Structure 1
C-alpha cells in the first residue's frame, strides 16, 4: 500500500514550495552578483547546508553505508551534476547576463526533461501533458514579453546565456539520472541528500580555492552571510529534498512542469520584497501557467 509520503498531491505541494525557494535563490543570485563571487557562493552555500544537516544524518548514513557503497560512482556523478556543476553554472551566469535572459533560457528545462524522459527512461508524456506544456510556455513567454510580443524580437543574448543553457542541461541530466538510478538509491530521501552534499562540497573546493587565488573574495558582512544562509537552508536543503522526493513520486517530466512557476514567483517576490507593482500581464501569464500545469498533470479519465 502506498503511504501518504508517496502521495502525488503532496509531491506537487512540495514542488510548488521548491519553486518558491528557487525563485528566491534567483533573486539572491542577481542581487549579490557584485558582492559574492560565484564559486564562493556555491561553496559556502553547500558547506553551510552540510553543517546544518550533518548532525541529523550521521547515524543514518552509517546505517545505510552498504547501500551507499553499492551505489558508488552513481552518487559521485549525481553530486558532480546537482551540487557542484549546476550551481557553478547558475551563479556564473548571473554575473554576466540579464535576469530576463536567465528566465527565458530556463524555459528549456521542461522540454529537455520531456524528451529525456522518453529517450532515456521510456516515460513518454501523454498528449495532454504536451498540450499543457504548450499552454504554460505561452504564459511564460507572455510574462517575459511583459504583455507585448514585439519585445521578444528585441531580445539579445551573450556568453552568460550559454552558461545558463549549460546549467539547464546539467540539471536535466541530474534529474533524469536520479530517476533512472532510483533502484540503486534505496535509502531515505534525507540520507540521499546528505551523501550528495557530502560528496559535492569537496568537488566545489578546488573551484573555490582557484577563485581565491585569482583574488576574488567577499566581505563576510551580515548582509552577505544572510544571503548565504538563505541559499543554504531554503534553496538547498528544503528545495532539493522536495525536488528529489517528487522525482520518485511523479517522475522527471511531470515534475519539470513546476519550473514554470519560478518566474511567476519571482515577480510575486519582487512585488512583496522590492515594491515592484504587479501588472495585468503578470496575472494573464500566471493564469496561463497554472492552466497549463493543471492540464498537464490532471490524470486522464478512463
Structure 2
C-alpha cells in the first residue's frame, strides 16, 4: 500500500496556500496605519528569505549553475508574482477594503486560463470552463452574503484598480512557473525571494525618504512575522509544488477558495457568525474545483 505523502497531495497543498493568502489580505488591511506598504512587503520578503536560506543552502551549490543560466526566468518570477503582487496588494489595501481586494483576486483563475490559452496554447476543456464559472458563482454568493444585488454597490476605486494590476501580474507569474528552472523547490524560492528584495529596495528607500516609517510595535512585528512565514514562505512553496503536480490552470482554480477562507477567518478572528451563504459558497466552489479537475491534464 502506498504511503500518503502531503508533498504529493496537490489539493491539500493548494488549499493551505490559499488559506494563508486569504490571511494576507486581512493582515494587510489590519496593518494600514501601522506598517507602510513598502516597508511591509520589503521586510516580509527579507524575513522569508532568511528562513529559506537556512533550509536551502545545502542544495544551492548544485542548483546554482541552473539558476544563473535561467536568470531571466528567475527575475520574471520575482518581478511578477513576488515583488509586484505583494507590493500592489498592500498599496491597494490602503484605500480599499479586504473584501473588495478579495473580489478582485477572484479574477485570477479565469485570467490564468485565458493567458494559458493565448500564450501557451494550453487546451481548455468544457469541464474547466464550467468549473471556473461554478466556482465564481460560489465566490459571488459569499462576497454578497447571499444577496447578489449587493455587489452593485462595491464599485472599483483606486485601490481596487491597483490590486487588479497585481492580479494580472500574478496570473502571468502562474504561467511562468510552467517554465521554471528545474531546481529544488527551496532553491527556487531562495532565488526569487532574493531577487524580489533587490527589486523592492529602491521603492522602500523612497518610502523612507518621504518620512513614512514603521514603528517597531508588537502589532507591526507580529504582522510582519505572519506575512513572512505563512503567505510568503509556506504559501509560495506549496503553490509552486501544486502547479508542478497538476498544472497552472487547475492549480489556479483553487484561488477561488480565497474569499471563502477570508470569511472563515473573519468568523474566527473577528467573532462574526457563520451563515448559510458561507456553506452554499463553499459547496459551489468545491463543486467547481471537482469539475475543473475532470478537464484535460496539462
Deviation at 1:249, TM superposition (A): 1.6
Deviation at 1:108, TM superposition (A): 1.2
- Equivalences for 1:89-128 in 2 at 5 Å? 89-128=88-127
Instruction: Choose from 226, 229, 245 the match for 1:233.
Output: 229
Aligned pair 1:42/2:41, yes or no? yes
Instruction: Choose from 192, 198, 222 the match for 2:194.
Output: 198
Q: TM-score, normalised by structure 1?
A: 0.93
Classify the secondary structure of the residue corresponding to 1:298. Answer: coil
Deviation at 1:6, TM superposition (A): 10
**Aligned-partner Cα distance in 1 for 2:206–2:162:** 19
Instruction: Choose from 271, 281, 294 the match for 1:298.
Output: 294
Structure 1 residues 6, 286: closer, same or farther in 2, change over 3 A?
Answer: closer
Q: TM-score, normalised by structure 2?
A: 0.94
Instruction: Choose from 207, 212, 235 the match for 2:208.
Output: 212
Aligned pair 1:177/2:173, yes or no? no
Gaps of 5+ in 1: none
Structure 1 residues 6, 227: closer, same or farther in 2, change over 3 A?
Answer: closer
Gaps of 5+ in 2: none
Deviation at 1:76, TM superposition (A): 1.3
Equivalenced residue count is: 294
Q: Is the 8 A contact 1:145 1:152 kept in 2?
A: yes
- Equivalences for 1:1-302 in 2 at 5 Å? 10-179=9-178, 181-182=179-180, 185-298=181-294
Q: Is the 8 A contact 1:6 1:249 kept in 2?
A: no
Classify the secondary structure of the residue corresponding to 2:154. Answer: coil
Runs of 4+ that moved beyond 2 A: 3-7
**Aligned-partner Cα distance in 1 for 2:118–2:110:** 12
**Aligned-partner Cα distance in 2 for 1:258–1:275:** 26
Structure 1 residues 4, 277: closer, same or farther in 2, change over 3 A?
Answer: closer
Classify the secondary structure of the residue corresponding to 2:9. Answer: helix
Q: Is the 8 A contact 2:142 2:278 kept in 1?
A: yes
**Aligned-partner Cα distance in 1 for 2:193–2:294:** 34
**Aligned-partner Cα distance in 1 for 2:28–2:79:** 20
Q: Comparing 29-38 with 278-287, which one deviates more in the overlay?
A: 278-287
Q: Is the 8 A contact 1:114 1:124 kept in 2?
A: no
Q: Is the 8 A contact 1:143 1:282 kept in 2?
A: yes
Deviation at 1:67, TM superposition (A): 0.9
**Aligned-partner Cα distance in 1 for 2:74–2:38:** 21
Q: Comparing 37-46 with 99-108, which one deviates more in the overlay?
A: 99-108
